[in-house]
Amino acid sequence: MPPAPYAYRQLDDPKLEAKAQGLMETIRCLTCQSQSIADSDASIAGDMRSQIRERIAAGEQPEAIRDWLVARYGDYITYTPRVTTLTWPLFAAPLAILLAAAVLLRKRFRRGDGA
């Protein structure tokens, strides 16, 4: 199959290309997994870059494209996870651990002052 038309070709409008590039840097390559689609040479990354550029050129907003990609490929695809009913514990756990550590340290130091 021939490569996607915008896999390795930028949009003519620099503002639209900047929007596309900004979004591509936050989307994970499904093949490489440690690279964004902006950095990956995998064929699926090229296809995704082309889809993003085509949608941006058609006037679609980056957030709408991100929503479409997440709906199609799942939350794993984005480097910027969203807080949802399933993911809020991941965001709250570090705060809870810090709070518990502060309380324990405070009790420990209070005990040491009275002796």
Q: pLDDT tens digits, residue range 38-50? A: 999 999 999 999 9
HEC readout, 65-98: HHHHHHHHHCHHHECCCCCCCCCHHHHHHHHHHH
Domain ranges of the chain: 1-81, 83-115
Q: pLDDT tens digits, residue range 9-33? A: 999 999 999 999 999 999 999 998 7
| Average pLDDT value for the chain | 89
pTM for the whole structure: 0.73
The pLDDT value recorded for residue 75 is 85
Select, from the ranges 9-23, 71-85, 89-103, the one with the highest average predicted confidence (pLDDT): 9-23
CA atoms within 13 A on the CB side of 33: 2
In words, the CATH class of domain 1-81 is mainly alpha
Task: Judge whether 36 and 81 are in contact, CB under 8 Å.
Answer: no
**DSSP per position, 95-113:** HHHHHHHHHHHHHHHHHHH
